[in-house]
Amino acid sequence: MKIDNVILASASPRRQELLKKVFPKFEVIPADIDESVDKNIPPEKVAQYLAEKKAEHVGRNHPDTLVIGSDTTVVLNDIILGKPKNEADAVNMLKLLSGKTHKVITGVSLFSHGKSRSFSETTLVTFHNLSDKQIAEYIKTGEWSDKAGAYGIQGKAGAFVKKIDGDFDNVVGLPCNRLYFYISSSDISAPI
């Protein structure tokens, strides 16, 4: 697989690190889009929908480049837990996740030559029961900021995880294994 021109349509440093597993060289152009979503889109489809919007937004200005858009959602009982607005919101999210299994869904969209291909990957994550003290100590770290569901599994919140069923990288923000095989199983460098 040799693709020379790749753009990641994301400002996430975690996604940038993960994408290096698939493409050692790529450009980063964050997609500045409105991330509001129609209520009729099921929670399981939101990440893929937003990934498609991001990839297309950046891809329209780079037609001969493979643009990769991605978005990650945390879903508990059909409710999306987005990025917390403040500390109190983060505390509430972690209390909701405590002792329960939730879905982490990452949507990925590949946009090239005016067309796109997309998929999503789901990983089940089960948290231990968390005490108020454990949550408060985590909140002090600031790691919850700018993370769906108010946690990053690759940081201190990794200790909250009792069990994971699926791709660890997917929970961090990009399912590299699936992305690699998805790209290498088709001629993505040609027009889609």
Catalytic residue among 4, 32, 64, 71: 71
Q: Evaluate the CA torsion angle 6, 11, 16, 22 in order and state its sign.
A: negative
* Active-site residue flag, 71: yes
CA gyration radius, the chain: 17
Q: What distance, in Å, lies between the first and last C-alpha atoms of the chain?
A: 16
**Widest CA span of the chain, in angstroms?**
54
- Residue 66: CB partners within 8 Å, gap ≥ 6? 3, 5, 6, 7, 110, 111, 112, 188, 189
Active-site residue list:
71
